[in-house]
Amino acid sequence: MRTITDIREMQSIAIQLKREGKTIGFVPTMGYLHEGHLSLLSAARKENDVTVVSIFVNPLQFGPKEDLATYPRDFERDSSLAEKEGNDYIFFPSADEMYPVTPSVTAKVQDRTDVLCGKSRPGHFDGVATVLIKLFNIVQPDKVYFGMKDAQQVAVVDGLVRDFNIPVEIVPVQTVREEDGLAKSSRNVHLLPAERDQATALHQSLKMAESAIDEGEQDPQKILARMKEFIKKNTSGEIDYIEILSYPNLKQISRLEGKIIIAMAVKFSKARLIDNAIISVKKES
Ligand code: PAF
């Protein structure tokens, strides 16, 4: 496995690989890899000739009061995990390499951002879209792998690729969970021990909602109320949002039908956790 820190070097390797007719599978990350990332890498490994993992904590997608400075980082560990998974290249640029000057052009996401994380993190998805356009141009991937834990990100990136005619295929991969159901996340290391125990309530509340829908509940407000009560009762976290929307359009719905997403973000003392479930609501017979 090779680590590349220089944009032009990464780009010329990618161009050379394409000339040789090789397919490139790309896993963009902000590092501190966990099993979720490794499942993306393993899918990329299976479906492409060459894999590239990028590790870049993108300042553009963090708000002024967010955790850019404390975002967990451990390049040595990341690099050995990626190597064990059979990865070929790690692209690991510095912030100066990626943004040597304040960008004169950035992306503005128009749709699917006024809900969920987009609502509580203004500008976040603009930063994600901007860095991904750069990374796609540098790595020149055929397929790009994203975890469904951030389902809104997948929806936004789908729109980005469609609207900008970017010739890549987006491959969504299912969320990987701890044994007790907590979605794997780099931010989980910032949970205090008691919060770590409580954090399993996020997944439990989603399961509860799924069962209620299975049993015929059709009113999203009733489900949301039950979920909020459950989170309040079982965690010390503060609910940032719990929403039920259509998926992938992320529009408000007044009745549960079709494909929906139930998504939530809960703030613990030093970590804001997200989770979601995407459900195809069965039609009544
Ligand atoms: O999901 C992430 O880790 C980031 O948003 C991404 C896609 C690597 C862009 O910085």
Ligand 1 centre and the CA of 255: distance in Å? 32
CA distances from 79 to 30, 31, 53, 55, 146 (A): 13, 9, 10, 10, 19
Ligand 1 centre and the CA of 127: distance in Å? 9
In this structure, the residue with its CA closest to atom 8 of ligand 1 is 29
Which pair of structure tokens corresponds to residue 86?
Answer: 């059979």
In this structure, the residue with its CA closest to atom 2 of ligand 1 is 29
Ligand 1: nearest atom to the Cα of 58: 10
CA distances from 245 to 115, 164, 210, 223, 242 (A): 9, 25, 14, 12, 10
Q: With a cut of 50, which residues of the chain have pLDDT below it?
A: none
Ligand 1: nearest atom to the Cα of 61: 10
154 lines ligand 1 (CB under 6 A): no
In this structure, the residue with its CA closest to atom 6 of ligand 1 is 29
CA distances from 256 to 121, 205, 218 (A): 26, 17, 5
129 lines ligand 1 (CB under 6 A): no
Quickly tell me which residue has 């994203």 as its tokens. 146
List the one residue out of 184, 208, 213 whose CA is nearest residue 196: 184
User: What's residue 282's pLDDT?
Assistant: 81
Domains of the chain (ranges; CATH) run 2-173 (3.40.50.620), 186-277 (3.30.1300.10)
List, as one string, the DSSP characters of the chain.
Answer: -EEE--HHHHHHHHHHHHHTT--EEEEEE-SS--HHHHHHHHHHHHH-SEEEEEE---GGGS-TTSSTTTS---HHHHHHHHHHTT--EEE---HHHH-SS--S------SS-SSHHHHHSTTHHHHHHHHHHHHHHHH--SEEEEEGGGHHHHHHHHHHHHHTT---EEEEEPPPB-TTSPBP-GGGGGS-HHHHHHTHHHHHHHHHHHHHHHTT---HHHHHHHHHHHHHHH-S-EEEEEEEEETTT--B-SS--EEEEEEEEEE-SS-EEEEEEEEEEPPP-
Pocket of ligand 1, candidates 60, 99, 117, 131: which has the most ligand atoms within 8 Å of its Cβ, to mutate?
A: 131
Max Cα distance, the chain (Å) = 60
User: What's residue 109's pLDDT?
Assistant: 96
The reply, when asked if residue 32 is annotated as ligand binding, is yes
Render pLDDT for 238-258 as a digit per residue (tens, 0 to 9).
999 999 999 988 999 999 999
Q: Is the pTM of this model over 0.85?
A: yes
124 has catalytic annotation: no
User: What's residue 120's pLDDT?
Assistant: 86
276 lines ligand 1 (CB under 6 A): no
Percent of the chain with pLDDT over 70: 99
273 in Cβ contact with 202 (< 8 Å): yes
Task: Return the bridge partners of 183, or none.
Answer: 177
149 in Cβ contact with 183 (< 8 Å): yes
- Pairwise CA distance, residues 32 & 44, whole Å: 18
The reply, when asked if residue 34 is annotated as ligand binding, is yes
58 lines ligand 1 (CB under 6 A): yes
User: What's residue 284's pLDDT?
Assistant: 65
Q: How many residues does the chain have?
A: 285
Which pair of structure tokens corresponds to residue 260?
Answer: 């929906």
Ligand 1: nearest atom to the Cα of 150: 1
User: What's residue 285's pLDDT?
Assistant: 54
